[in-house]
A and B are shown apart, each in its own frame.
Chain A
Amino acid sequence: MRAFLAFTAAAAFVASAAEGSGLRIVSGGAAITETIYALGAQDCLVAADISSVYPEEATKLPRVGYARQLAAEGILSVRPDLLLVNDDAGPPAVLSQIERAGVRVVRLPNNHTPEAAESRILQIGEALGKTVEATKLRVDLHADLEVAKARAESAATTPAVLFIYARGGGVVNVAGHGTAADSIIKLAGGVNAIQKYEGYKPLTAEAAAAAAPDFILVTSRGLESSGGVEELLKLPGLALTPAGKAKRVIAMEDSYLLGFGARLGQAAKELCDRLHPAHQETQR
Chain B
Amino acid sequence: MESPGRMRASSMKRGRGLFLLGLAAALACLSMVALCVGAVKIPPREILEALTGRALDAKLETVVWHLRVPRVLLGIMVGAALSVAGALMQGLFRNPLADPGLIGISSGAALGAVFVITLGGVVLPEAPLLSDMRLLPVSAFVGALIVALIVQRLAATSGYTSVATVLLVGIAVNSLATAVIGLSTFLATDTQMRALSFWMLGSLGAADWKMIGIAAPFCLGLTAVAPLFAPALNAFALGEAEAGHLGYSIERTKKLLIVVTAAGVGACVAFTGLIGFVGLVVPHLVRLWIGPDHRWLVPGSVLLGGILLTLADTIARTVVAPAELPIGILTAAFGGPFFLLLLLRARRRALWG
Contact = CB atoms under 8 A, between A and B. Distances in A.
A47 B205 contact: no
B189 A73 contact: no
Mostly helix, strand, loop or mixed at chain A's interface?
loop
A101 B63 contact: yes
A62 B67 contact: no
Nearest to A101: B62
Interface string A84-95: 000010111110
B203 interface: yes
Contacts of A167: 190
B89 to A, nearest CB: 29
Contacts of B39: 71, 73-74, 76-77
A90 B323 contact: no
A266 to B, nearest CB: 23
A279 interface: no
Given A64-B322, A71-B324, A93-B211, A100 B191 contact: no
Contacts of A88: 191
Given A63-B322, A68-B195, A76-B40, A102 B59 contact: yes
A90 B66 CA distance: 18
B68 interface: yes
B134 interface: yes
A50 interface: yes
Nearest to A86: B191
Given A90-B195, A91-B133, A92-B133, A69 B62 contact: no
B260 to A, nearest CB: 27
Nearest to B136: A91
Contacts of A69: 194-195, 198, 203, 205, 324, 326
Nearest to A70: B205
B100 interface: no
Interface string A183-194: 000000000000
Contacts of A75: 322
Interface in B195-253: 195, 198, 203, 205-206, 208, 211
B194 A73 contact: no
Given A90-B133, A90-B195, A77 B62 contact: no
Contacts of A8: none
A74 B322 contact: yes
B9 interface: no
Contacts, number: 103
A71 B58 contact: no
B317 interface: yes
Contacts of B321: 71, 73-74, 77
Contacts of B191: 68, 88
Contact of A101 (B66, B68, B190, B326): B66
Interface residues of A, number: 36
B181 to A, nearest CB: 15
Given A73-B317, A100-B62, A101-B62, A62 B322 contact: yes
A91 B62 contact: no
B132 interface: yes
Contacts of B338: none
Nearest to B321: A74
Interface string A40-58: 0000000100100000000
Interface string B41-70: 100000000000000001100110011100
Given A69-B326, A73-B317, A200-B189, A91 B59 contact: no
B63 A76 contact: yes
Contact of B324 (A74, A76, A93): A74
B183 to A, nearest CB: 11
Contacts of B38: 73, 77
B205 A78 contact: no
B334 interface: no
Contacts of A72: 67, 205
A50 B194 CA distance: 13
A97 B208 contact: yes
Given A63-B323, A100-B66, A71 B205 contact: yes
Contacts of A63: 320, 322-323
Nearest to B201: A69
Contact of A66 (B58, B63, B198, B208): B198
Interface in B249-307: none
Contacts of A71: 39, 205, 317, 321-324
Closest 9 CB pairs of A and B: A65-B323, A74-B322, A77-B39, A93-B206, A71-B324, A101-B62, A77-B40, A69-B198, A74-B39
Interface of A: 47, 50, 62-66, 68-79, 88, 90-94, 97, 100-102, 165, 167, 171, 199-202
9 contacts: A69-B324, A71-B39, A71-B205, A73-B39, A73-B68, A97-B66, A102-B62, A165-B190, A200-B190
Interface of B: 38-41, 58-59, 62-63, 66-68, 132-134, 186-187, 189-191, 194-195, 198, 203, 205-206, 208, 211, 317, 320-324, 326
Given A62-B322, A74-B322, 20 more contacts: A65-B320, A65-B324, A68-B194, A69-B324, A70-B205, A71-B322, A72-B67, A73-B67, A73-B68, A74-B317, A74-B324, A76-B40, A76-B62, A91-B133, A97-B66, A100-B62, A100-B66, A101-B62, A165-B190, A200-B190
